[in-house]
Amino acid sequence: MSAATPVLQNDLLLRALAREPVPRTPVWMMRQAGRYLPEYRATRERAGSFMDLCRSSELACEVTMQPLARYPLDAAILFSDILTIPDAMGLGLHFVEGEGPKFERPVRDSSAIRALRPPDIARDLGYVTDAVRVIRRELQGRVPLIGFTGSPWTLATYMIEGGSSRDFARAKALVYDDPAAAHHLLDMVATAVTQYLNAQIEAGAQAVQIFDTWGGALSTPAYQAFSLHYMTRVIEGLIREHDQRRVPVTVFTKGGGQWLELMADSGCDALGLDWTTELGDARARVGHRVALQGNLDPAVLNAGPAAIRSEVERVLASFGSGAGHIFNLGHGITPGVPPEHAGAMIEAVHELSPQWHESS
């Protein structure tokens, strides 16, 4: 290790991802930097727009650090978005207040798909790797930095639908009407995703997560062919060791509880679980092969601290004793959550988890 690379002061996350013993369960939150924090809203205001915030490495670093200043979290997650890749492919991303992401030029048919060109990661997404480097410098080895991407399927849904969707009518119609066009799109996006994650790893991301937010909307065979197949290909292409450390990969398919065995075959190190799957059941099924991350229902954070604490206790007990659990929410924290409630969750993990790690 070079003198410029400070040792990691808190490596609980990486140890738990490797299913090595830890004195307590590490904890971080999906979307931990975000609108529920007043300091995030202030920085976003200064940036002008969400994408301007992502494109400024200094401001992206500032908001990445905000939840770490408030809470004793065990990881930082790069502040960016999954939709940076389709934006870099020329689809024209913007965010409409209250409506979420929109693309000016969605890819609706096979001719639009065949006209697509892959992004040049270094040229078009250099702002993301710049942010990774700035954040690593600022972290000074305090906790590991998680990099991320959307899954090829999840990115394709936004590219085809032109934004968020309830039923994925267009994306699914494409899959069934013109599977060759769908595969062509997913293949190009999977290559971009692989290069993008590798660029984040080379810039300093110490673990990576693939957000397959909409994989759970598919039938089992369609999930295997159009989502899992491409995530497996991405994982096969990743740099798995950097700076003399393994770079663990977490796959999070929301709604994927019935496919855990298949997901564990993807070559990943950990599975993210939403709150509809019990951790104890998941552990019995795949816990001898992968670590498990999750899975407190984010809506619990709208309840009071006493209820939060008892749900944290229940989640910890569901996983049970021993290594291989990373505490998290089952999906991203929502904007209306009082910041003290997130604090109560994290404090409860610190207080209640050591008893599950006492060596027998």
Q: Which residues bind ligand CP3 (CB under 6 A)?
A: 30-35, 44, 50, 77, 79, 81-83, 100-101, 148, 164, 211, 213, 332
Output the smallest distance, CB 232 to ligand CP3, in A: 19
Q: Where are the alpha helices (DSSP H) in the chain?
A: 12-17, 38-47, 50-55, 57-70, 84-86, 110-115, 121-124, 126-139, 152-161, 169-177, 179-203, 220-222, 229-236, 260-264, 279-286, 305-319, 339-352
Q: Of 31 and 133, which has the nearer Cβ to ligand CP3?
A: 31
Which of 210/225 has CB closer to ligand CP3? 210
CB of 254: closest distance to ligand CP3 in angstroms? 6
Catalytic residues: 31, 35, 44, 81, 158
187 within 8 A of 248, measured Cβ to Cβ: no
Residue pair 251/210 in contact (Cβ under 8 Å)? The answer is: yes
Closer by beta carbon to ligand CP3, 287 or else 298: 298
Distance of closest approach, residue 178 Cβ to ligand CP3, in angstroms: 24
Rounded distance between C-alpha atoms, residue 208 and residue 248, angstroms:
6
In the complex, least distance from residue 156 CB atom to ligand CP3, rounded to whole angstroms:
12
**Which is nearer to ligand CP3, 31 or 289 (by Cβ)?**
31
Region for 324 from its dihedrals, namely left if φ exceeds 0, alpha if ψ lies in -120 to 50, beta otherwise? left
CA distance 147 to 202: 11
Which residue in the shown chain puts its C-beta closest to ligand CP3?
213
Burial (0-12, 13-18, 19+ Cβ within 10 Å), 309? middle
198 vs 323, beta carbon nearer ligand CP3: 198
The nearest distance, CB 70 to ligand CP3, in angstroms, is 13
